[in-house]
Amino acid sequence: MTNKKSDSSSYLQVAESVTEGHPDKLCDQISDAVLDAILEQDPMGRVACEVAVTAGLVIVFGEITTDCYVDITDIVRRTIKKVGYDDPDYGFDYKTCGVTVAISEQSPDISAGVNTAYENRRTDSSQSVDQIGAGDQGIMIGYASNETKDLMPLPITLAHNLTKKLTALRKEGVLPYLRPDGKSQVVVEYDHNDKPIRIDSVTIAAQHDPDVNEEKMEKDIVELLIGKVVPTDLIDERTNFYVNASGRFVVGGPMGDAGLTGRKIIVDTYGPGYKHGGGAFSGKDPTKVDRSGAYMARYIAKNIVAAGLAERCEVQLAYVIGMAQPVSVAFETYGTARIDIALIKKLVFKNFDLTPSSIIKNLDLRKPIYSNLAAYGHFGRSDLNPPWERIDKAEILRKESNLISQ
């Protein structure tokens, strides 16, 4: 326990996470399971798969162009079972839910723009290079901070660790009364130097069996979940713990709320204290720069911070549908840069190819790696080690910027 005092210049940052049984996250996982199944057989498949769920019903829709066949209904049921909706008493389960599939092919207009980049169509073909165009227009944000070992903001890291642990306590049978749906929320106090100094509050909402004793559940959650995840040196006598503040959380998942792919984009990234371009990730193949561009932006930001060029870094990319090169690349280091931002930008352009073709190749994005990312965040995932979490460019950036390693 600690008693770090706050001052007038301190401020609060908050983030939330949801378990894999949350209805929106269930949709994300089904969308990415469909994507993975297609990429496993057809790495060049084009996928834009959306899912909606409600009580007793799953609807899969969108645009898919591929040479392979996958049994989408079977994928839906297997994903629901894996998440834990395997009991009719939950009001929604993999055996009895209805599944409706409404899939068409990708628009030929979009396909043409992706197949041959604008730059190739507008130049002499003898001088052009083989490039695909961006699969959509949009803005992508990447962020990194040295406040955690994964170079992520502390609030979102703790929020994800809590929901992952909550799910583990359920699946491992430690707390057998838990059901799949759940949420966490963490409020962190920062000092005037933007360093976390204490945890202001931790909130857990955990779906449970109807006969559970509320006092026992609160005690279990505080001891076996919060006590195991939240650093004790950031907890003081003013830290509040809230467990199922509504008093009861029996009806959950699709039985309690409708779900939809792409509705947890802040949970998927860095938390509400940081920018987001607006595009969701799940169910999209890597030609969609909403996904691949965001991964590249995180890769760049993380290597900049790992190289010691800045303590915090935001990278913003913007693309136009059908074009290979981004139309805008911007950086924000919040006053923490150790070299001029113009030099950082020069180093990035030298060491990172920002065209969709190169992003897909360098980050190896045509593999079926996505369904495991569809819950608990796409960034800071040291448990999965996706390619965009590598810091293999950090030493190069450090040397080329003439910085001495600390």
Residues tagged active-site: 22, 24-25, 50, 63, 183, 249, 257-258, 263-264, 284, 288, 290
How crowded is the C-beta side of 292, counted as CA atoms within 13 Å? 29
Task: Give, in order, the Cα–Cα distances in Å from 157 to each of 17, 50, 147, 176, 193.
Answer: 9, 27, 10, 25, 20
Q: Amino acid letter at 304?
A: I
Characterize the bridge pairing of strands 57-65 and 98-104: parallel
N-terminal to C-terminal alpha carbon distance within the chain: 31
Q: Residue length, the chain?
A: 406
Check residue 204 and report its DSSP letter.
Answer: E
Q: How many Å separate Cα 86 from the centre of its chain?
A: 26
> Which spans in 136-199 are helix H?
154-171
Q: Distance between CA 184 and CA 242 in Å, rounded?
A: 10
Question: By 3-state DSSP, what share of the chain in percent is helix, strand and coil, each rounded to 5?
Answer: 35, 20, 45
Check residue 371 and report its DSSP letter.
Answer: G
Q: Distance between CA 286 and CA 288 in Å, rounded?
A: 5
Cβ-proximal residues to 400 (8 Å cutoff; 6+ apart), any chain:
347, 350, 351
Instruction: Give one DSSP letter per residue of 232-261, joined into a string.
Output: GGG--TT-EEEESTTS---S-HHHHS-EET
b/e per residue 121-142 (b: at least 16 CB within 10 A)? eeeeeeeeeebbbbbbebbbbb
Among the listed residues 248, 261, 235, 176, the one whose alpha carbon sits nearest the alpha carbon of residue 205: 248
Joined tokens for residue 326: 């981004």
How crowded is the C-beta side of 313, counted as CA atoms within 13 Å? 29
